[in-house]
Structures are given as C-alpha cells and as structure tokens.
Amino acid sequence: MTDRIIPIVDGRSARPIPAARPRPAGPLRDALGRGLRDLRISVTDRCNFRCTYCMPKDVFGPDYPFLPRGEVLTFEEIVRLARVFKGHGIEKVRLTGGEPLLRRNLERLVEMLAGLGGLDLTLTTNGSLLARKARALADAGLNRVTVSLDALDDPTFKAMNDVDFPVAKVLEGIAAAAEAGLAPVKINMVVKRGVNEHAVLPMARHFRGTGHIVRFIEFMDVGSSNGWRMDDVVPSAEILRTIAAEAPLVPAEPSHVGEVAERWRYADGSGEIGVISSVTRAFCRGCNRARISTEGRLYTCLFADSGYDLRALVRGGAGDAEISEAIARIWSVRADRYSEIRTAETARQRKVEMSYIGG
C-alpha cells in the first residue's frame, strides 16, 4: 500500500497511512505504550441543536455544507470496521454524532453491532429524540446511554442549545431510557464560566439519589469554532468544592484503565458524580480511544487536525486483513498528547470539529 493523501470535504485533510514496519506481537500499543480499548463512531455530522460550545449558529448556519449521503458510511461499512477493530481488542463501541438519533433506523445499526458479540454498546445523545427511541434501542441491544444536559433551568439551557429546546423534553428522554433498562444514565454537563456554572449545584441536587451519574466537563478547545478561552474554563477542582460544600464527597476507584472521568461518591452513599478535566488535569497518558468520523476517517485524538481514510480502503476493495494491518500501523505510530502540551497558541490552531467526530 502506498502512502497517499486523499482530500476531504470542507478543507479537512487526510493523513497518509504509515508505511509497514515490524511490530511486536501481542495487543496493539501506540508509540507511548497505550493500548486500544474504546471505539467511538460518529454516525452523522448533523444535529438539531446549535450548542454554542459545539455547533454555533454563526458557523453551522442554514448553508453549512454537511456531508452528502453518499459520503457517509453505511451501516454495513460501520459494522465491518467495528468487527476489524474488535479483532484488535476493542471492548466498547460508542455511537456519537452530531446527534446520532437523527440517523434513520439507528436501532438497526445497534442490532447489527450487537450481533458481533462481546461489545459494550453505548450512545451519546442530546436527549431530544430519546423518549421515542429508548425502548427500540434497548431492544436492539444497546447497553447504556449518555445524555448531554447543560442546565436544569430553561433560560440557561435554551441559551446554550440555541434552538429553544426545553429541559423537560430531555428529562423525559432520561426517564424513558431508565425505564427501558439503559441505566444508569450518565448525564454530561459542559461547564462554561459566566454561562452555566450557577447550574452545577442544582444539577447535582436533582440527580443525587436517582442512580444516574452526572459528569461535569471542563469547557474544552475542541475544533475551531467555539471561541474557547482559558478564562471560560471552570476547573473541576472548583466544581468539586462547590458540590462538596453541601454534600461531602469521597474519591472512587476508576472502573477501568484509561477512564476519562474522575469518579467521586457522595459520602452518605446517595450516588456518585464524575469530573472530566481535560484542561486542568490532562489524562492523555491513559487515553485508549479511537474515533471514526461520519465518512470513515480514523482520528487518534479528539483534538486532531486530520484523520486516516479508512473508507477509501473499505470502498476500494481492501480485505479485512489489509484494513486490520492499516489500523495497526496507524496505532503503532500514535503519539497524541494534546491536552498535556496545550498552550494558548496550540488552542488557536485549526482542529477538527467535535460535531464531526463526536465528543
């Protein structure tokens, strides 16, 4: 296979697949010794929200050139890639977007992935369509769901999603997911200074004792359109102090190697929360996640500026063994550690948008 660069829409470029080289036997390890455990697959680059930290309207307006249907991976192509990745030790597949529930018949894809066996199947959604989809997703084989919810009061939440969508509809989706057995539900809250830090404590109070887990996420410099500044970051340490002042917390052990959320339990046993501290406490050294974009680019970091074109292999007649070897070669040279080396200058550099590869 020759190294080549294949153009990608919207100015995004593809990296050449690394040349073959000797690799040690055993599980895949990257250049920094990190394994490969989680695969995140974006099934659409479209979303019905315009969250200001992800898909702001001034960038993702009515004329934004979303991917045409023919450029998007089919369900069969997604399952094929997931099967090849499973051969490299992937244990978990998370479906993302955009908003993944906008992808028609997504429960069929879940059913197909469940047929591979042995995978923890999860999904991240804004919750807007979850109430009507939760049961079908669970019946198809989805194990768990994560819902994005950035405030419990409508003025703040509507200002952030920027499409006038109410909190009550998201809460209905969370309840439907729990009723369908997709529990515990994880709720992701991105915290931005001057926007919604006042909503941290109400969020913790609301979900404490429900069995659901709120994860408070530091506002990150993903992509190039969200106007990120360090001054807008509410450090996870501050979030923990705010919550612990009312409800004491004790640290909990991570559930697996490479877990991004730092877990904390309420001292009285009424549940747990998590914080994701990509800005103030980088966790790059344990990162074992790969991401496949909507049209089949493999990204080895959330903050990457380009990815490797797996779709060209899939549609170009490559066999599973050739695709597997390409993945191994890509992973073997991976040395990403963006959050550890973040500076004001790197934060301004152009990066792939989060809506394109999922969070």
Before 184, cis peptide (omega within 30)? Answer: yes
Cα–Cα distance measured from residue 141 to residue 109, given in angstroms and rounded to the nearest whole number = 10
State the Cα–Cα distance between residues 248 and 273, nearest whole angstrom.
12
Asked if residue 246 has pLDDT above 80, the reply is yes
Cβ contact 146:168 at 8 Å: no
Instruction: Read off the pLDDT of each residue in 128-157 and give the average, rounded to a whole number.
Output: 98
Contact (CB, 8 A) for 197 and 233 = no
pTM of the model: 0.90
| CA distances from residue 208 to 20, 227, 351 in whole angstroms, order as listed | 51, 32, 36
Range with the lowest mean pLDDT among 12-16, 65-69, 157-161, 213-217? 12-16
- 71, two tokens: 């450029």
Say what the pLDDT of residue 3 is: 36
Q: With 60 as the cut, is the pLDDT of residue 338 above it?
A: yes
Cα of 63 vs its chain's centroid, Å: 25
Residues counted in the chain: 359
201 with 208: CB under 8 angstroms? no
CA proximity to 14, closest of 2, 25, 3 = 3
**DSSP structural state of residue 296:** S
Of 222, 168, 169, 231, nearest to 197 (Cα)? 231
In order of their start, the domains of the chain are 9-18+28-357 (3.20.20.70)
- pLDDT tens profile 76-134: 999 999 999 999 999 999 999 999 999 999 999 999 999 999 999 999 999 999 999 99
